[in-house]
Chain A
Amino acid sequence: MSSTLLTHHHSHAHSPIHRLPAALKLGAALILIVGTVLMPPDQIVWFISVLALLLAVLILSQLPLMFFLKRLLLLSPFVLGVALVNAWQPQNHVRWQVIALKSSLCLATVILVSNTTPFSKMLGALQRARVPALLITTMMLMHRYLFVLVEESERMRRARLSRTFTRGGRFQWRSLSTVIGQLFVRASERAERIYDAMCSRGWK
């Protein structure tokens, strides 16, 4: 699942929605999500207006429709599971239709924001919202090296595949674990080099 998520990201495209300030989009998304979650299910007006707003944003942002729908479906197994369990429940629990509607709306909101806002801009907005600096630095580094490490593990996987013919389960688990272990070793060595590089560029 995650690999398809990684490769298709539209946060750097150009559209009126992309150009809006990140803090505004994050704030609006937060209000929409909190409002949608807390709203009693009989407030149809709210849900319809949120839906209309999201549709307008979707059209203005020029995101590919299929991409958007695929993301929406890909991320909903939890909702489906809860809905399924809930369909078997007595009446005094929240109706599954309500849950499905609410979480789809929230999910659509986050997908729209995350695909129209570069992550660095989002971090800037979080920084201004007084999120602790250490957490911001960690997120920044994670975002920067996420793709590097994913590629590195992909390279290791290819190297392993080109050297092994065995496809036995037990052996495979062991070699896959070695790959992950090696990935950790390489990540920590890289962290040391990054620290040196940061210091030589005047990081306090």
Chain B
Amino acid sequence: MHIPDGIIDGKTAATAAGLSMIGVGWALRRVKRELPPRKIPLLGLAAAFLFAAQMVNFPIAAGTSGHLIGGTLIAALLGPSAAVVVVTTVLIVQCFLFADGGVMALGANIFNMAILGSVGGYAVFRVTNSLLAGSRGRITAIAFAAWCSVVFAAISCAGQLAWSGTVSWRAAFPAMAGTHMIIGLGEGLISALVFIAIQRTRPEMIVDDTQPRRARELVVFGMVATLGIALFIAPFACPWPDGLESVAAKLGFESQAVANSAFAPLPDYQLPGMHWAIGATALAGVIGSLVVFILAMLLGWLLAPKKSGIKGNA
């Protein structure tokens, strides 16, 4: 999902960069204040870990493979501010060292993956975790949150593409959200499995952060994320499928509109299925989220360490 240069235009890149600067600046401030000096090298090592972990390929059917993305996992392990710093570092190094993701699009990538992905995922993790008690609840929470974070980042990316005028929202949203709702399944499963593995070998590494202090940390991130959503996504997301068009269709104006835009080789609404694609994707999103949540609960129920196990911590 690393956006390269040349795909998004100047205003989108500049806006996203501004939002990312606020978000990362806040995260750095929080980390400096909250993190004990002993943990400073851990940020760099966690970033290196994330990079190395992304190179471990998980086999999927038919010879394809996927890998961990990891923002939510890091957020659950180290807290949201540290996760923003870690994921941002990974993105900057990938950009400058490996030319993966554009320089001008760096702000957009940081906003999507580090801020919206990790912090959004963490927020879902906390809310779900507070609803469902015990280690089962925690595994459910991390799997569901990891799935959400991938989908959030993909939708925001689609919004940026649409705002740039590169790809229309009708094409970008179903394509990005649809594929990432599937990719997210792998991410949720891997995140949960890795989390369990760490919990099994080193239960003391997993902080039991039920203290409300962290919630305040989320307010600024939440504001940045909301502003981004308002700019990138909201202008496109309102029509369902498109208020005006459905009215026009009812009144029989549609044929006229098609005739008027005959100069375009493939106008949006002549593509089979495109007309309903956004509505269908949104609906699939709601159903999909429910299904994924149930799957995550099943996963938690299956994989949670038994009380009689090595460490029966609730």
Q: Is the pair B197, A177 in contact by a Cβ cutoff of 8 Å?
A: yes
| Contact residues, A125-144 vs B (CB, 8 A) | 132, 134-135, 137-144
Q: Is the pair A198, B41 in contact by a Cβ cutoff of 8 Å?
A: yes
Which has the most chain A C-beta neighbours within 10 Å: B97, B202, B267?
B97
Q: Is the pair A180, B104 in contact by a Cβ cutoff of 8 Å?
A: no
Chain A positions 102 through 122: 1 when the CB is less than 8 Å from some CB of chain B, otherwise 0: 111111001101100001001
Q: Cβ of B6: which chain A residues have Cβ within 8 Å of it?
A: 36-37, 79, 99, 101-106
Tell me the dominant secondary structure on chain B's binding face.
helix
CA distance A81 to B179 in the complex (A): 12
Q: Is the pair B194, A180 in contact by a Cβ cutoff of 8 Å?
A: yes
Number of residues of chain A lying within 8 A (CB) of chain B = 82
Asked whether any CB of chain B lies closer than 8 Å to the CB of A62, the reply is no
Contact size range, B: 35 or more
- Give, as a whole number of angstroms, the nearest-CB distance from B47 to chain A: 4
Q: Is the pair A93, B165 in contact by a Cβ cutoff of 8 Å?
A: yes
Q: Is the pair B99, A176 in contact by a Cβ cutoff of 8 Å?
A: no
Beyond A134-B40, A173-B189, A181-B198, whether A110 also contacts B167 by CB under 8 A is no
Closest to A77 in B: B4
Chain A positions 40 through 79: 1 when the CB is less than 8 Å from some CB of chain B, otherwise 0: 0000000000000000000000000000000100011011
Q: Is the pair A29, B103 in contact by a Cβ cutoff of 8 Å?
A: yes
Closest to A36 in B: B6
Q: Cβ of A20: which chain B residues have Cβ within 8 Å of it?
A: none
| Contact residues, B70-124 vs A (CB, 8 A) | 77, 85-86, 88-90, 92-93, 95-100, 102-104
Asked whether any CB of chain A lies closer than 8 Å to the CB of B64, the reply is no
Q: Is the pair B96, A90 in contact by a Cβ cutoff of 8 Å?
A: no
Asked whether any CB of chain A lies closer than 8 Å to the CB of B32, the reply is yes
Asked whether any CB of chain B lies closer than 8 Å to the CB of A172, the reply is yes
Could you say which of B85, B189, B205 contacts A185, with CB atoms under 8 Å apart?
B205
Q: Is the pair B98, A106 in contact by a Cβ cutoff of 8 Å?
A: no
- Give, as a whole number of angstroms, the nearest-CB distance from A111 to chain B: 5
Q: Is the pair A33, B102 in contact by a Cβ cutoff of 8 Å?
A: yes
Asked whether any CB of chain A lies closer than 8 Å to the CB of B166, the reply is yes
- Give, as a whole number of angstroms, the nearest-CB distance from B295 to chain A: 15
Q: Is the pair A139, B167 in contact by a Cβ cutoff of 8 Å?
A: no
Tell me the dominant secondary structure on chain A's binding face.
helix
- Give, as a whole number of angstroms, the nearest-CB distance from A165 to chain B: 16
| Contact residues, B26-76 vs A (CB, 8 A) | 28, 31-32, 37-49, 51-56, 58-59, 68
CA distance A195 to B42 in the complex (A): 9
Q: Is the pair A138, B47 in contact by a Cβ cutoff of 8 Å?
A: yes
Beyond A157-B56, A191-B45, whether A122 also contacts B96 by CB under 8 A is yes
CA distance A110 to B205 in the complex (A): 38
Q: Cβ of B47: which chain A residues have Cβ within 8 Å of it?
A: 138-139, 141-142
Q: Is the pair A176, B4 in contact by a Cβ cutoff of 8 Å?
A: no
- Give, as a whole number of angstroms, the nearest-CB distance from A58 to chain B: 14
Asked whether any CB of chain B lies closer than 8 Å to the CB of A187, the reply is yes
Could you say which of A76, A90, A114, A185 contacts B265, with CB atoms under 8 Å apart?
A90
Chain A positions 84 through 102: 1 when the CB is less than 8 Å from some CB of chain B, otherwise 0: 0110111111100001011
Q: Is the pair B41, A194 in contact by a Cβ cutoff of 8 Å?
A: yes
Could you say which of A75, A78, A110, A142 contacts B48, with CB atoms under 8 Å apart?
A142
Query: Could you jot down 17 A-B contacts, CB within 8 Å?
Result: A76-B4, A79-B7, A88-B266, A134-B31, A134-B40, A140-B44, A142-B48, A143-B97, A146-B52, A149-B49, A178-B193, A180-B68, A181-B198, A183-B52, A184-B77, A185-B205, A192-B41
The 10 closest A-B pairs by CB, nearest first: A141-B44, A181-B197, A103-B6, A102-B6, A106-B5, A177-B193, A142-B47, A90-B264, A149-B52, A191-B42
A residues lining the B interface (CB < 8 Å): 2-3, 5, 9, 29-30, 33-34, 36-38, 71, 75-76, 78-79, 81-82, 85-86, 88-94, 99, 101-107, 110-111, 113-114, 119, 122, 132, 134-135, 137-146, 148-150, 152-153, 157, 169, 172-174, 176-185, 187-188, 190-192, 194-195, 198
Known pairs A75-B99, A94-B164; list 17 more (Cβ under 8 Å).
A3-B55, A34-B10, A36-B5, A85-B167, A106-B5, A107-B4, A134-B43, A141-B48, A144-B44, A177-B190, A181-B194, A181-B196, A181-B197, A183-B49, A185-B202, A187-B46, A188-B46
